[in-house]
Amino acid sequence: MSESEARPTNFIRQIIDKDLAGGVHTTVHTRFPPEPNGYLHIGHAKSICLNFGIAKDYQGQCNLRFDDTNPEKEDIEFVESIKSDVNWLGFDWSGEVCYSSGYFDRLHGYAVELIEKGLAYVEELSPDEIREYRGTLTAPGKHSPYRDRTVEENLALFDKMKNGEFAEGKACLRAKIDMASPFMVMRDPVLYRVRFAHHHQTGDKWCIYPMYDFTHCISDAIEGITHSLCTLEFQDNRRLYDWVLDNITIECQPRQYEFSRLNLEYTVMSKRKLSQLVSENLVNGWDDPRMPTISGLRRRGYTPAAIREFCKRIGVTKQENTIEMSSLESCIRDDLNENAPRAMAVLDPIKLVIENFDGDIEHLSAPNHPNKPEMGERSIPFSREIWIEAEDFREEANKKYKRLVLGKEVRLRNAYFVKAERCDKDADGKVTTVYCTYDPETLGKDPADGRKAKGVIHWVSADAGVPAEIRLYDRLFTLPNPGAADDFAATINPESLTVVQGYVEPSLKAAVAEQGYQFERMGYFCVDRKDSTDDALVFNRTVGLRDTWAKIDG
């Protein structure tokens, strides 16, 4: 990462600066703690850039820790994908990967300590009864009939839970705090529940699993985390975070700080909803290029630098807001405009026959980038028959139309002037072939008589061009906030993916996965890293050349 990407300022960095200046801490230790129950999305990228970026800028440490306390929804596939995403974004974690499950023995010991202090009890109300007893936002909860069991009873019952002598849902361990608290999270929250589930790290050793709120703060303390950064929905949970650490015997006392989560228009950031899209085959997997997952964005052609720049631009605040999709697109557009080599591709082809061109294929030279001669040049085959875009030809047009018209001239990109003479149509009246003549004296220069072309159009040799499947992606949903709909899946955009068969110049046979290319006049594209082969090229459109969102939304 370049220096220009580093050192943004925000309220969290100001807190860290104050802590270091005041001697509260001598070093900075953060963590990124995903649950391995799905693939990471663009919202997680914001947290990754914040936690790992802070550790890098302050010469501190950042742990990658899997908060893996819910084995029924977790999978080793998600573990591996998360590690890959963090690395791809340009970050590495301190030491070995951490797992909350690696602390299960210690967590169990702390639960026993709370019982021995009279601060936890075994509950035998059903889950529905627990919810009923908890009260509402305006009415206090009431005590469970099991709340005043003796320490000895609770220790024995908790041991029975651990030994698998309670069925799921028949017993749990609750903290004894305050059923009248104005904060629901403090009304005797559940600390452990019974689950007969195989764990991807601990196997079948445990049949009781700690809850996230109990596990998270203790894991932070065990790892010596100085600043525990999370999103605003955990703001009230900070009271439980502090309560647990205040009431167990542990040296480190991390502090939790909350920032606003990332909300992005025309998509969802709920792992549950994203999982539903995958499980119901509404998209083609977690890495579908329409998904807001990091792997989906990567497959679509987004770069790590563009995503880091996006996270830098949106900043870190406590204010909830929704970011326009155009903000994300502008970051990748800026990156690719600067760094993507140029190429030509025709997505909706009609044939152009150059009647006065005789002989073999001619090899022309074109720059790989108009402003970067150091990127070199490429050879483009030019032949008697070429493909052009159907929209680049009209039989008649007004002066605003700057493409090929019967009786008029245009320049073929990096090639010659051509003049349209006549055309063929099919039974439906659709143009299939345009016949033209070319001026062989106009390669790299204008005609001697001062004629001007109406415009410049791109093309691909019909003899040497390579067939390719082109996937054109649009927003996944038709509503700016699909998560607020009664049925978010019903708002999926039926035109979120359009597949066309086109032709690309032969240099693109050597296209490298994750290398973006500007298809001149058409947008930015990349080889599909999953489906493309040497014999069947597939390209994904990353983003158009211009911002079309404002026009559509306006």
- Domain closes at, from 437, 458, 479: 458
pLDDT reading at 367 higher than 70: yes
For 370, the domain range is 345-458
Given 31, 56, 271, 308, the catalytic residue: 271
Distance CA 504, CA 522 (A): 12
Q: Are both 139 and 196 inside the same structural domain? A: yes
List, for residues 296-315, the tens digit of each pLDDT value. Answer: 999 999 999 999 999 999 99
Residue 540 marked ligand-binding: no
C-alpha triplet 91, 294, 276: angle, nearest 5°: 140
Q: Are both 110 and 174 inside the same structural domain? A: yes
Q: E strand or H helix at 122, and its extent?
A: strand 120-123
- Domain closes at, from 430, 458, 486: 458
Residue 262 marked ligand-binding: yes
Active site residue 271: yes
Q: Are both 393 and 328 inside the same structural domain? A: no
Distance CA 385, CA 433 (A): 10
Residue 549 has a pLDDT of 53
What's the first-to-final CA gap in the chain, in angstroms? 36
User: What pTM does this model have?
Assistant: 0.93
CATH number, position 132: 3.90.800.10
Whether the CB-CB separation of 172 and 136 falls below 8 Å is answered with no
Position 379 in a domain:
yes
Q: Are both 426 and 478 inside the same structural domain? A: no
Phi, psi dihedral angles at 274 (to 5 degrees): -65, -40
Given 160, 170, 261, 351, the catalytic residue: 261
- Domain closes at, from 170, 191, 211: 211
Residue 542 marked ligand-binding: no
How many other β-carbons are positioned within 10 Å of the β-carbon of residue 505? 24
254 half-sphere exposure, CB direction, 13 A CA radius? 25
What is the domain count for the chain? Answer: 3
Residue 270 marked ligand-binding: yes
SS3 readout for 465-493:
CEEEEEEEECCCECCCCHHHCCCHHHHEC
List, for residues 97-141, the tens digit of each pLDDT value. Answer: 999 999 999 999 999 999 999 999 999 999 999 999 999 999 999
List, for residues 412-444, the tens digit of each pLDDT value. Answer: 999 999 999 999 999 999 999 999 999 999 999
Residue 269 marked ligand-binding: yes
Residue 108 marked ligand-binding: no
Report residue 63 as tokens: 């742990």
pLDDT reading at 331 higher than 60: yes
pLDDT reading at 387 higher than 50: yes
Q: 356-365: list long-range contacts, CB under 8 Å, 24+ apart.
A: 356/437, 356/438, 357/383, 357/384, 357/438, 358/384, 361/461, 361/463, 361/464, 364/414, 364/415, 364/443, 365/414
Q: Are both 308 and 176 inside the same structural domain? A: no
Q: Which amino acid is at 109?
A: G
